[in-house]
A and B are shown apart, each in its own frame.
Chain A
């Protein structure tokens, strides 16, 4: 069982909102100092899903990430959870790619890695939240895709996935190899423990450039991008606080209920 997991390194979503800054010129987020970037939460769940499969079926987990040289940290994090190896895809040509460009780079890396049974991605990245890369990647690789998995129930010649729909879930099967995007409902990722944590730290993560994976410059040309950022701003949030009172707790609850009823 060979599993490839695509992960992304993002700005820590736990950063207090007031600390975000945006450069209006370049339309980019300026990260506050002293806050290390982290693995995107959904991608971490994808790694968890892969590890659970490996626990059951044995096999190998390879992790790849398009990003800066710092992305080695998220690969190491995945290795400390249970992945076997990983590669950082880092090249000036990969900077600021849209979902199509990113999927293209990932597809080239996956082709270089070779045989695989399953590709796992997070349902979307915790920073941009576009939720596109998984589906486009499957399209390029010409394999089936199942999105929004809350459980991967079984893998034999097919993969059987429980996926979230608006009013519950459905169970979908697809032949291997397939791509599955994982949602947070799959459950908390494990805490990296024991020897893996120490060994992952010492590991040197290979970096692949455009030429290493045979990515063509024409495909990475920003002029060919399918999306364009026209503006970027920090949303302003206003919080109004009102304390609902009442002579008794019961009365306070009734006041609260009528207040809520009026709001809807």
Chain B
């Protein structure tokens, strides 16, 4: 007999079933509606484009559990556990709909139960139940016994583990006692039948068996309802939010920064209250707030963050977690309509009390956090938005940042004064280059050198190597020489959005005037900016390639031949803005592998999960805070660990940071840092 069709103390089971259901569903809906309204406090943002592709992303990422499996490494197998839990629990979820909802709730059990369908489904559930139990035990061991750094002890995790585990135990109990009570002898479902056969052999009366089975059923119904109520009130909200978060993740580039519209600015200026970037929780967009719900507190971002690893106080996990807490704290007040009161004299200021200014400046925008985040949370742009507020509205920034921004604003480049003894066009002397504006003919390919490659002695060497390689391979290109300004990247990462906007508009105008069709960049930061960020400002009429892509192509087409033997052990340091932001990591390896006799050793953190050199996000100029060590020293230890004689990279900042690391670690005699262009020049047939 179905547990629901029985009568308990004179009350029909159906009534109890539905009353409990309505209470739980009500509590669930109330919370979800509240969270939804909180999310709507955020600013508008369009993430509804390309819906087809978005849905495909969700299906292809979540169902096969690529979200967690992609971060599985030899040292961190937790993703496998999560996948088992997900697949297993999904089976149960379906079973709850079918066996509880339809069969019991709507009385369809005569059709759904006691037949082959039930036997097959229950057998699947038995296997799924074992997987889930195994995953839970594993998770408990990892949390309470061998706890890796990224996990923190939390009551919430414990509650969920106990609930899920007890659901599985109850499942087997209901099945075993129920089967035994029915008196049938069967071999299916595999676990339930074993339990049933054992129980039958003990001679317990059928009635008792059935009563226990029904009691277990009600208990498990209660646990499921409790689970439903608890989830949106705990960190396990991610079960509901992460799907949506992956659905609305950025498609075009990994870090999406919205332009600040001039009209909005003018309105603010005339009202006399300029509030740019994010100083309050509702200054973020709804997607930023959805991110907060999606966080699973897995800590993957925490252990990948170079700032954290080098002992700074910044932790991307804490940033997300603290913002979520802040949203939940401030939200009810904001929703009640006293937005004014709350925002003008909030109990806590978001910048300062919730997120320390120091932490906002410690981020190198390397994107490691986003790359490993299983639910595609966008940490970097939140940090940049808070920087925007500090720089644009509060005029508060480290002195080193201010110096760099002032140079960008008045001199058009971040390097000035004692930092560079060169002038912009100096490197072009005697190179016989086509300088746009001076050269009479037409060139439609521009070699965009970048500030660092043009101004800093060590980087100019790499620029000259690349220039010679390009010429030897017969590439027809022009340069801007002394007229080449900054692309605007350091300003944008440091929060000085308008300077970036001005740079972008002016540079696009220049490209238009010279009718540029293709741009070769040597700096990955320029590459990312020109390729992914200029299109928003009208710069969509040219192709942008990084030189590593171009050289790999020239080698494939036989235009460039690497014939000189280099008997050396190399390793390659992937620049974040190339390998992670733009997924260019095959080409550099292809080039290195083509060098005769060169041996190659990969570092553990490589390709899209590379480790920052410490120089991105304006940090070439912003002084590094005191931590336990410096970011480039952490990386240098990894380089030294490979035993390589040369560490190759393809970014001017990385090159500087690596050389500084080599110097400070005192390994100058055994290790050199080189730009990939320099290596190619050495390996090239120079007859």
A12 interface hit (Cβ, 8 Å): yes
Chain B, residues 364-392, CB within 8 Å of chain A (1/0): the string is: 00000000000000000000000000011
Q: Known: A33-B423, A34-B424, A36-B412. Contact between A195 and B499, CB under 8 A?
A: no
Of the A-B pairs whose beta carbons lie under 8 Å apart in the complex, a sample of 15, sorted by A's number, is A18-B421, A33-B425, A34-B423, A36-B410, A191-B395, A191-B402, A191-B405, A191-B496, A193-B274, A193-B391, A194-B268, A194-B276, A195-B269, A198-B262, A199-B266
B521 interface hit (Cβ, 8 Å): no
A193-B391, A194-B268, A197-B498 known, 9 other contacts, Cβ within 8 Å: A14-B407, A33-B423, A191-B402, A191-B406, A191-B409, A193-B276, A193-B392, A194-B265, A194-B392
Q: Known: A191-B391, A193-B395, A195-B274. Contact between A39 and B482, CB under 8 A?
A: no
A206 interface hit (Cβ, 8 Å): no
Q: Known: A19-B423, A33-B482, A35-B423. Contact between A195 and B268, CB under 8 A?
A: yes
* B502 lies within 8 A of A14 (CB): no
Main secondary structure of the interface of A (DSSP, over half): loop
A192 interface hit (Cβ, 8 Å): yes
B656 interface hit (Cβ, 8 Å): no
How many residues belonging to A are interface residues under a CB distance threshold of 8 Å?
26
Q: Whole-angstrom distance between the alpha carbons of A191 and B391 in the complex?
A: 8
Minimal Cβ-Cβ distance residue in B for A192: B409
Within 8 A of A (CB), among B171-185: none
Q: Whole-angstrom distance between the alpha carbons of A182 and B481 in the complex?
A: 38
Q: Which of A15, A188, A193, A196 contacts B393 (CB 8 A)?
A: A193
**Chain B contacts for A77, CB-based, 8 A:** 410
* A34 lies within 8 A of B405 (CB): no
Q: Whole-angstrom distance between the alpha carbons of A14 and B276 in the complex?
A: 31
Main secondary structure of the interface of B (DSSP, over half): helix
Chain B, residues 264-277, CB within 8 Å of chain A (1/0): the string is: 01101100001010
* A12 lies within 8 A of B411 (CB): yes
Q: How far is the CB of B426 from chain A (nearest CB, A)?
A: 9
Q: Known: A34-B423, A193-B498. Contact between A39 and B268, CB under 8 A?
A: no
B242 interface hit (Cβ, 8 Å): no
Q: How far is the CB of B484 from chain A (nearest CB, A)?
A: 9
How many residues belonging to B are interface residues under a CB distance threshold of 8 Å?
37
A126 interface hit (Cβ, 8 Å): no
B443 interface hit (Cβ, 8 Å): no
Q: Whole-angstrom distance between the alpha carbons of A33 and B604 in the complex?
A: 46
Q: Whole-angstrom distance between the alpha carbons of A198 and B501 in the complex?
A: 9
B417 interface hit (Cβ, 8 Å): yes
Within 8 A of A (CB), among B398-449: 399, 402, 405-407, 409-412, 416-417, 420-425
Minimal Cβ-Cβ distance residue in B for A188: B402
A16 interface hit (Cβ, 8 Å): yes
**Chain B contacts for A190, CB-based, 8 A:** 395
Minimal Cβ-Cβ distance residue in A for B274: A194
**Chain B contacts for A19, CB-based, 8 A:** 423
A32 interface hit (Cβ, 8 Å): yes
Within 8 A of B (CB), among A17-45: 18-19, 32-36, 38-39
* B391 lies within 8 A of A198 (CB): no
A201 interface hit (Cβ, 8 Å): yes
